């Protein structure tokens, strides 16, 4: 696990760095594909920048509102000692705020328990901290793209087909960032697939909370399903299928994007069963699973409309 590629003189999260890498690769592929299908590559470049910005904002917005951390972000501003799940402790404990700051563990010391906390009223808006929801990114990117495409009078379905393989690849790279950050971890398993995370990781903290006796003297978490890598692998397979097979053999405009949405929703729904990190739940499913169900239903409905329209046009 390596949550930060750089920790001094400033922190640069691994997730954010890989998102930048995905953005660069995505732009390169998008521009080349635009030239192939006869679309102005400059418009694709401009659109990519807009999508990148609003995808990050949407992913962050959904994280703050729907991942169960809204109170934590509020308390980080008004009552930092209430955010114990983000507190950091070192042997001997802190004695002053200056000690926490010197060790880069926070900016406020709770002398009573020796833990360092962070007081910040801007944490919810700091993109470099990480903390993103993929469906939020998809929503932010989709809405911004629709507005951009409409204003530039571009073909919505052709642009969607260009974007689909790039989105799959970007999501795969992003999930590797999740693995390095230690977030989005899976449930405990004794199978050969299990991977432990080091002390201080989200998985370690979670296991320390729910298995206090079992975790006594442990320097790493229990083995968990590497759901981040499962997701990355699934996205890379979808990318290979869409980019190297379907993209040049599609039967109608929009088919590539529709299949991307269906594949993504199905994989996300399944992988959610193996995840154990804290996130929103409602009744039997997580928030992401409910979104997957809704998205599949909408996508199937839209696909049937597009197919019927294509058939009518072919019969004219």
User: How high is the pLDDT of residue 126?
Assistant: 80
**What percentage of residues in the chain have a pLDDT greater than 90?**
49
User: How high is the pLDDT of residue 193?
Assistant: 94
Picking from 14-28, 155-169, 286-300, which range would have the lowest pLDDT averaged per residue?
Answer: 14-28
Statement: residue 316 has pLDDT above 70:
no
Confidence band of 33 (pLDDT split at 50, 70, 90): very high
Write down the pTM of the prediction: 0.78
User: How high is the pLDDT of residue 56?
Assistant: 84
> Across residues 30-56, what is the average pLDDT?
90
> Across residues 271-296, what is the average pLDDT?
87
User: How high is the pLDDT of residue 206?
Assistant: 87
User: How high is the pLDDT of residue 236?
Assistant: 97
User: How high is the pLDDT of residue 315?
Assistant: 72
Confidence band of 137 (pLDDT split at 50, 70, 90): confident
Task: Output the average pLDDT for the chain.
Answer: 88
Task: In whole angstroms, give the CA distance from residue 65 to residue 83.
Answer: 16
Statement: residue 133 has pLDDT above 70:
yes
In a 3-state reduction of DSSP, which class is residue 193? Answer: coil
Statement: residue 9 has pLDDT above 70:
no
Q: Model confidence over 170-186: pLDDT tens digits?
A: 999 989 988 988 888 99
Q: Are 182 and 201 in contact (CB under 8 A)?
A: yes
Short-list 305, 9, 309, 272, CA closest to 133: 272
Residue 116's DSSP bridge partners are 88, 109
Q: E-strand spans in 38-146?
A: 108-110, 115-117
> Across residues 203-218, what is the average pLDDT?
82
Residue in the structure block whose two tokens are 């929703």: 265
User: How high is the pLDDT of residue 254?
Assistant: 92
Sketch the domain layout of the chain as residue ranges: 4-83+118-187+225-308, 190-222
Statement: residue 217 has pLDDT above 70:
yes
> Across residues 15-32, what is the average pLDDT?
88
User: How high is the pLDDT of residue 1?
Assistant: 66
Residue 109's DSSP bridge partners are 116
User: How high is the pLDDT of residue 205?
Assistant: 83
Q: Model confidence over 244-276: pLDDT tens digits?
A: 999 989 999 999 999 999 999 999 999 999 998
Query: How many other CB atoms are there within 10 angstroms of residue 180's CB atom?
Result: 19
CA 85 to chain CA mean position, Å: 21
Rounded to the nearest 10 degrees, what angle do helices 287-315 and 255-272 cross at?
160
Residue 4's DSSP bridge partners are 13
Task: In whole angstroms, give the CA distance from residue 262 to residue 239.
Answer: 13
Statement: residue 16 has pLDDT above 80:
no
User: How high is the pLDDT of residue 130?
Assistant: 63
3-state helix, strand, coil in the chain (%, to 5): 65, 5, 30
User: How high is the pLDDT of residue 74?
Assistant: 92
> Across residues 128-153, what is the average pLDDT?
84
Confidence band of 149 (pLDDT split at 50, 70, 90): very high
Q: Model confidence over 106-121: pLDDT tens digits?
A: 899 999 999 999 999 9
Confidence band of 128 (pLDDT split at 50, 70, 90): low
Task: In whole angstroms, give the CA distance from residue 4 to residue 123.
Answer: 16
All residues at 6 or more sequence positions from 235 whose CB lies less than 8 Å from its CB, including other chains = 168, 169, 171, 172, 175, 264, 267
Strongest mean pLDDT among 69-83, 209-223, 258-272: 258-272
């Amino acid at each position: 696990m390596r949550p930060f590629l750089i920790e001094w003189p400033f922190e640069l999260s691994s997730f954010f760095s890989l998102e930048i890498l995905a953005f660069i690769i995505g732009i390169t592929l998008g521009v080349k594909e635009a030239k192939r299908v006869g679309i102005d590559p400059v418009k694709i470049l401009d659109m990519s920048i807009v999508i990148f910005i609003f995808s990050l904002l949407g992913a962050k917005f959904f994280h703050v509102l729907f991942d169960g951390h809204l109170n934590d972000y509020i308390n980080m501003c008004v009552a930092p000692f209430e955010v114990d799940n983000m507190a950091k402790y070192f042997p001997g404990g802190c004695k002053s705020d200056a000690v926490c700051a010197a060790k880069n563990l926070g900016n406020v010391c709770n002398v009573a328990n020796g833990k360092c906390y962070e007081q910040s009223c801007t944490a919810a808006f700091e993109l470099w901290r990480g903390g993103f929801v993929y469906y939020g990114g998809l929503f932010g990117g989709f809405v911004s793209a629709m507005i951009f495409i409409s204003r530039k009078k571009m073909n919505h379905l052709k642009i969607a087909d260009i974007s689909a393989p790039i989105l799959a690849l970007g999501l795969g790279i992003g999930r590797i960032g999740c693995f390095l950050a230690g977030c989005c971890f899976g449930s405990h398993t004794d199978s050969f697939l299990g991977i432990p995370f080091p002390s201080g990781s989200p998985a370690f903290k979670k296991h320390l909370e729910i298995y206090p006796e079992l975790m006594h003297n442990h320097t790493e978490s229990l083995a968990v399903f590497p759901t981040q890598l499962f997701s990355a692998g699934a996205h890379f397979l979808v990318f290979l299928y869409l980019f190297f097979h379907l993209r040049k053999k599609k039967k109608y405009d929009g088919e590539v994007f529709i299949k991307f949405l269906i594949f993504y929703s199905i994989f996300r729904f399944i992988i959610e069963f193996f995840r154990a990190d804290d996130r929103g739940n409602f009744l039997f499913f997580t928030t992401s699973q409910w979104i997957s169900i809704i998205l599949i239903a909408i996508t199937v409905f839209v696909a049937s409309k597009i197919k019927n329209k294509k058939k009518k046009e072919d019969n004219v």
